[in-house]
Each structure stands twice: as structure tokens, then as C-alpha cells.
Chains A and B, each alone.
Chain A
């Protein structure tokens, strides 16, 4: 049935390609209908992991290659929330792409991306996993820059990184295949664990080949620059998919492989170096997550483009998730998975509201915007709720997962990791408020006076996302039960939860009571507000300017909006140790071009030159044989 779904998707994608430009909303309706179909099927299939399906392709020599799928609790959970968010973004993009120039191309490759998304999560063997992994790499290349010169350079970083990591993974798979003889994930994972005993060299090679993929795809420390490039330049609605979903693939694969491995080592630490009873390697990974989150937070504080800011905040959140995941406590892993879901939800909300603002104002520089809240209330509310849950403030959903991450880290005694996470989450509050202020509050520039709210169809996903954020924030037990089923599949101890009251070794929270406390105090504040005398509305420019009437020194509302170097002095603190990793990668690229250029000129040399080289190289081979 999954194969049918994927096949049907391919047919639909070609069908959508032939819809004429005039009715392009029809194309996008087919698109969102298909995602709805996948969503509907994932819900109806449910979590019975006995569902197995295969579709054999070819058997050369002793390879019998076939696409086979199985519903694992983890895969099912990831498919559910990714398809739900893709469905919401697709509703948003029906209207947005009405007069987008290359939208026929975006639609086609986005279709393939969705097919490979479901395929990747439900894949049962490494061969299918790799096929869909490479399909995602190729199709996201064309969606990020569908023939736009501006985003061409940006997409190169992403594309080269993902190709390198997918082929390193390929070599890792081959070594595992040599050992087990089949591609199925369960057998290979067990073999991978046993590999550390009998042939450590192989094991390390496979581990490295998988880890590179994880580092690249979830933008950890050395590779933390590509999201800022790719998300900032991608088409707006796709950047919400990019940072909500596509950045999670590396994480999914690592959970498959490394969590069972590290848990096994944790139980039987035969000859492994253990640092406060977790393997050293997972400790290093946890620290790489922490470092990434700190760096990404400080980069986000400095960025002035709103999409870059959101991209860096995604990198920071991926940092939290990695740290929590590799602290290997049950709360840590559950918190990491829950935070992946929450992060996907509120990040999609942030990016959709940014896309709405860009749809109306065609401007991404924050200091040129301002005062959008007065004109676009619904977008403002989504952005506000998304900011509150991104900063981890209680009534909404970001808080519950952050709280679980803290319980996980603190209960397994990681003082400095908790401090690093705390530093970056406070920093998160800084740049999130900067975005809220410079885009939505402050002064509305004159040129945006006639900005209207986005059409209703674009508001539907915003309402649903708001509802999701609030409901998961207040009643997290539904999502936690799903996560518990994932934990049992990796036989980690479950989180004991009694209808919205989560108990952890350190303390318990009841998010319903937290919400009640907040509403109660809000009612108290409202009563106090009514006691005071009624207030009077005033023009935006009627503010205290030390007695000088703004109109006198022709002060426009745009000049009056403070947003350009919001944390200027704060940024100067880090001037001494500011390294530009983007510069590093550009220098590598220049070096390669230089060498290539040298050989190219060498090729088109004179005729006499060719003969000399021919003879010389022939002699060289013989000398080389002599030395060998």
C-alpha cells in the first residue's frame, strides 16, 4: 500500500507538471491533496509494526535489491508530524505561488521530496533509506534554487555537503552489508553493535561515515553555515519545510544507529572509556551539540535578515536536541524527540509568518520593516505564540520539551552541559524578541501603510499551528504517549505520566495547572486594568521626543524605528574571536578552482608539449614501477 502511495505520487507529480500557468492554483491543490492522502494513510495504518511490504527491483550477482517498508514507532511518529506540517505549508503555498515565477519547477521537485520523505521514514532496509536519501538531496537542490541566480551560490554549500555525506553513508552501508549479507536495518544495527567487539577498525570506519552524515544534515559545528545560506535564499514557504523537516533527517538516522549502540555500551562498558557513565564518544557528540547551539545563538543575535535569524535559531535548536539525545538518559532522549516535534511546529509557524510578511512587503531586511502587527494581526499572533514557545515559556509547547531536556541533563549529572543549554536558551530569547520588535512592533514605515492581512487561505495553517502549539503545551500527554511507545521499542524506561502530570526524578509539572496559574493571574491583571481610568488611543508619532514636535525636523515613521544594530555593543564584545567559517569554505573552493584551472591550461598546450608529456609520463610510469 505504501508502494502504491509512492507510485501514485510520482504519477501525480507528472500530472501536476502539465497544468497550465493560468490555473496554477490547481497544480498546488493536487499537491496538497496528495499530502492529505499520505497524512490520512499514515493515521489509518496506525502503529502496528508488523506491517511489512516489499517491491523487488533487480538481483545482480548475489545482490537482490528491493524496496521494502516497515512501520516502526519512531518512523511512524516522524512521518506523522512531518506530513502534517507539510500539509499545512502546502495550504499556505497554494495562494503564495499564484504569481511566483518558477513555481512549476518548485511544485514538481517538492512532490518528489514528499514521496521520498515518507519513503525515508518508513524504509525498512538501508538500500531504500539510501535511495530516498539521495532523492531528497537532488530534489531539494532544485526547490531551493529553481533557476534563481541569487540562490545558486547558497544551494551549492547544501548540495555538496549532502552528496558527500550520502556517499560516505553508502560506503558504511557496504561494509555492514559485507558482514550481514542483507540490507535490513534491524540485523545491520545488531551487527554494527557487535562489530565494535570483533573488528574495531571496521566499526570506527562505519561510525565515522554515519556521523559525517549526521553532522552535515543537522548542521552541527563545522557545518553550521549552510542553513543560513539555504533557508535565507530558498522560496519562503519551502524554507519552513527546510528548517522544520529536512534538517531532521540526519537526526532520524542517528537515532536508528547510534542510540542502540550507546545504550548497549552503557549497559556493558567492557573496554570503552566511560565519562560519568556514558561512552566518551556520545559525550563528545553532546558537547558538539552544545557548542553549536551557543555559536548559532550568537550568530542569530547578529543577523539582520529575518530568514537568516530563523535559520540560525534552527541550528541552535538542533544543538539542544543533539545534546539531549546524547545524554542517554530516558528523559533526555524523550525530551530530544519531543523537542524535534515542537521545534518543527513552532519553526514552521515562524517561517510561515515571515513568508506572510515577505508576501505582502517583499522585504526581508528587518530594519526596513516594522509595525506589521498593526496591519497583519493574525500573522502577528502566530509569530508571538511561536516566539513564546520557541523561547520555552511555560504555557506553550516549547516549554514542556525544554523542561524534559533539563530534567534529563540534570538527573544524569551534566552541570556544564545544562549551563551551555541555559545560556543559549536565554540568548534565544534575545534574538527572538529582536525579530518580534523589528518586524511587528515599533513604527510602521510609510510605504507599508496600505499593507493588508494575508488572504484567508494562508491564515488557515496559522490558526491550526496556533491551536497545535497551545494544545500540546497544555495537554502534552498525547504526544508523550506516542514517544513512550518509541522508547519501549528501544527498551528505554518510559516517562511516567498521569493525565498531563509528568513525574521526573527531580520534580514534576502539571501543565494544566501551569496554564491555570497563568490565566488566573491574567484575569487579575485584567480586573486591575478595568479599575483604572479608560485609556485614550494616540497617533503612533505622538511620543515623548523631549518637547520637539517630530514633524518639525521632518522625522518620518521609518527613521523613528530602532532596529538596525539592535544589540550593537553586545556584538562588539565578541569581535576578538570572530572566525568566519563561510570564508574558510570559500577559500577551499577557490583553491580547487585554481588547481583545475592549472590543469585545464595544461591541457590546451602546444602540440609539441603533448608529445613531450606523453613520452615523459611513459618513462615516469616505469620509474614509478621501479620504486614501488
Chain B
């Protein structure tokens, strides 16, 4: 019993890393296309990661190493709880939404701790902005989660997927369109894409948290961002687009990622408190409207 857990664990984590990097590569080509230039091959991010792991690196304290590792492992641990298509790692905990939402914070906490141990003031400024934004986009996302839990009476993603099987009409996207719009905007904040990337603003705070990450630590940052893309898009596909078979699941994920990138490439950057105000007003009102509709109907 133990080893099939390990096997499933490896499958889950490696798919998330590889596919995450793949989406990043395709994403970079997609943005380049928008800017009318031809970015490198789609496997460019694999090369970047291998190059980063081949470089020497510096660290200020063992807490920095421990923190970065904890950040990466947090995100990987979350992916394990995500039902990819109909594959799941733990049979009795198939994608418990509340676990996923809280496990993501380990990723943030680990990265934040490691990076703030580096001593460069830019990184805590970045982390402060990231956390403030987090409280912003968590509200619409939490509302959407509450709505779905009320809708199908169980907080397991697996059950939410089961209810959306069959034809396209019973996807949650069509049943709760406003909630989907609100969640897409929240996804924009979760991935830290352009309108809400005050935390990585290269011009202002020299790429925020990643200012002191060199060599393999930056590699960890890349992998964490990749599996984060896989995770967040995976959650939303499971919630709204009825994550179908394995291939269907990946295409929906890619579609969602490219959608966020297309929004990202045309928007300037929000100040992070305006970002929080934005999150608390527009997407929240969308999802709230949908929730009230749902409560009235029930």
C-alpha cells in the first residue's frame, strides 16, 4: 500500500513540474507572438531550470535554504491533493478544497521566510505586497469556493467534478457564469500576473522576493512558480470547467493560463493597495451576486 502511494506521489509531483514548465514555455511563446516576436523554443524554461541548477549560488543563512525548500515542498504537497482528471493520490482525500487553500499558504510562508532571511530589504517589501494582495484575491476565491460547496454539498473537488460530467451544459462555468468571471480575475492575482504583479515589480523593487536568489535557489523559484501555475489553473478547471480526462484537463489548464497571459500582456501594474481595493469591489461583487442568486433560488 505504501509504495503505490509513493508511486502516485511521484507521478503527481513530476507531472505538475513538467507540465508547469511546459505551460511557461508555451506562455512565453504566446506573449512573444502578441508582441510580434518569436521567443525561444517551447522547452525554453526546461533549459533555464537546468542552467540555473548548474550555476553556483550564495545564501545568507541556513534559514534561507530551509525556507526556499519549504516553499517549493508546500506547493508540491498541495498539488498532491489536486485530482488531475480522474487520477488522485490519496483515495480518501480526493481534493479537499479547504486543505488545498491552506496548503498553498505553506508555499508562500516558506518562500517568504527564506527570502526575508536574505537580509535585502527589497524582498520583505515584495513579500508584504504579496501578502496584502493575497488577502485581496482570497475573498472572491473563497466566496466562489463557498458557493460551490453549498451547490454540491461536499467540499471534495472530486465530487464537484463528478457533478459536472456529461455534456458541456452542466459545467459550472455555465451554471454560475458570474462566479467564473470573479474567479478568473482572482486567478490573475494568484498567479501574480501583470495587473497584480506589484510583488515582483522588476523596475521598483528589483524583482521583489527573488532579489537575492541565485543559481539553484532561483531554480527552486522557477519550479515553484511552474507548479503553482499547474495547481491554480488545475483548481479552477476542476471547479468550473469540469476537469475531464487527463488530456482534456491539461488543455483546459493551458487555455486558462493563456487567457490570464493575454490579459497580463496588455495591462500596466496596479499599486498593490489599489489592487486590493479592486479585488474587494469588482470580482467580489460578481461572485456575491451569483451567491445571492443561488441562495434565493435554493
Contact = CB atoms under 8 A, between A and B. Distances in A.
Touch between A and B in complex, CB under 8 Å?
yes
Interface of A: 371, 373-374, 380, 384, 387-388, 391-394, 399, 402-403, 406-407, 410, 413, 415, 418-419, 422-423, 426-427, 429-430, 433-434, 436-437, 441-443, 501, 505-510, 513-514, 516-518, 520-522, 524-526, 528-529, 531-533, 535-538, 540-544, 546, 560-563, 566-567, 569-570, 572-573
Interface in B122-144: 122, 124-125, 127-128, 131-132, 134-135, 138-139, 142-143
B132 A391 contact: no
10 contacts: A399-B102, A402-B102, A441-B63, A441-B113, A442-B116, A507-B93, A510-B93, A531-B216, A537-B59, A569-B272
B39 interface: no
B222 to A, nearest CB: 11
A547 to B, nearest CB: 11
Contacts of A538: 58-60
Contacts of A563: 124
A517 B10 CA distance: 11
B70 interface: yes
B155 A426 contact: no
A357 to B, nearest CB: 16
A570 B206 CA distance: 21
Contacts of A373: 61, 63, 117
B156 A422 contact: no
Contacts of B72: 521, 525, 528
A427 B143 CA distance: 16
Q: What 6 A-B pairs are tightest by C-beta distance, nearest first?
A: A532-B216, A521-B76, A521-B73, A543-B120, A562-B121, A522-B73
A562 B124 contact: yes
A525 B73 contact: yes
Interface string B202-243: 000010000110011101100100000000000000000000
Contacts of A505: 153
B212 A415 contact: no
Given A410-B146, A535-B59, A535-B65, A525 B220 contact: yes
Contact of B92 (A374, A433, A510, A542): A510
A427 B135 contact: yes
Nearest to A526: B69
B44 interface: no
B128 A566 contact: yes
Contact of A429 (B53, B73, B105, B125): B105
Contacts of B291: 415
Contacts of A427: 135
Given A443-B119, A540-B119, A391 B156 contact: no
B284 to A, nearest CB: 9
B103 interface: yes
A423 B139 contact: yes
A541 B119 contact: yes
B100 to A, nearest CB: 10
Contact of B58 (A513, A536, A566): A536
A569 B60 contact: no
A184 B118 CA distance: 61
B77 A517 contact: yes
B173 interface: no
Contacts of B105: 391, 393, 429
A147 to B, nearest CB: 40
A443 B122 CA distance: 12
